Chain A
Amino acid sequence: MASDTHPPHPSIRQYWRIAALLAVLTAIEVALFYIDNALELGAVNVALLLILAVLKFVIVVGWYMHLRFERPLLNRFFAAGLIMALGLYGVVLAAMGILAIRGN
């Protein structure tokens, strides 16, 4: 069993650096909200906010939940739930979104 080949978890210093990065990303998100209020970025704002959220999500899951240091099996389980949810509700939103517009 090749279980001892996993890289070591981050050091305490690295955990603090990751926290600082997460704080900066959150600050950018909030700043974007105000920039959008002034400049009305519209779809660009939504895209940027989603990218920042995905970045934060990946950082927390990968480094704080240590998923990038775990066995592939756990990665697959986690990804399966995430992909199923995104797929299922993506379809629901697409379908119901159209219905909602027609209903109005």
Chain B
Amino acid sequence: MSEGQIQSDLVERLLDGQHRALARVITKIENRSPGYRDLVSALHEHTGDASIIGVTGSPGAGKSTLVDKLAREYRDRGLTVGVIAVDPSSPYSGGAVLGDRIRMASTLGDMDVFFRSMSARGQLGGLATATADAIRALDAFGKDRIIVETVGAGQNEVDIVKTADTVAVLVQPGSGDDVQMLKAGILEIGDVFVVNKADMEGAQRTVSELEEMIHLRQSDTERLAAGPEGHDVGHGEEVADHHGHGHDDHAGHGHDDHAGHGHDDHAGHGHDDHAGHGHDGESEGHSDDDAADPETWRPQVVETVATSGQGVDDLVDTFERHREFLVSSGRRAERERSRYAEEVRRLFEADISDLVETELDRLGGVDDFAAAIQRRETDPYTVADEVLDPVVDCLEARHDGETR
């Protein structure tokens, strides 16, 4: 069989539901084997049905254990599941021990849960691409839900979880510092926050800390989105007063209060009102508001105990609600498009960089250029121009051809 035939045979067997073919396709994707691009291209038209859930969080937060229980819960609901667990590899040997599989105890022997470990293999930018392609393979295979699990530390991981429709961030109780750390990147992308090990001391505190942060985040977004005019609408005669106070409103709240507030609140209330509000009554009222507003998703905080499975059904319900929200609000399509845009950009970056790398080698290698720069015979910008000018010319020639 020719290379091309092997590829199309593999695609056919994957679409036919053969596990071995799916496994082999992911291997090719992971290895960037010759022809893997054609494979992914052939699979793309068969994708789009799966819902992708990204699970991230600091090491030891219980991600793998929770993913195991999630898979179980989905299976109980009659859905098929794919899992991709990304683990770091050793920067020294390139080797890795991929340990997430050990926690997969609830669905062992159930082939309708396809679990695959992937290592970072030191290829930073490439991992997000490989993960997205592996998800595509699982999607084309017909998995209903695909869970991507990764340690939440750094841009690389953020890129990976961004390939998900729903992003769940795991937080351990009592990890005040962790919550602080989350502010710096992960918090912005979480759709659902999971306080795992909720039977531990300090769980409630962590829940309210998270609620507070979500509240602040949402009111920030709101403020940016609405602008001053937005505020005017709801305030009527209190306009002047409210503007005077501006956003100090937020600062005036007691900590505990935040947990109960829906973000819509601030726009609608006159300033004086705040003091008079009973806390309990408010939280009830606002959760209703949140549910009723189809245009915004307020990130949810869910408590689980992954080891016992407690709260996992709630979590899956929340994921499903988020999924419905994405569909009904049109965000799912929106997210998908922006994901593809990012993917295309990543591919361009990688391909152009490969192209330039090859060209540099042909021209004698980057070291020669560096030496020439060092001798002050040329400079970095001139070198960059020299190497890229033919590419620019070529693209411009194409453009000229079109306009004429």
Verify that A and B bind, or say they do not.
Answer: no
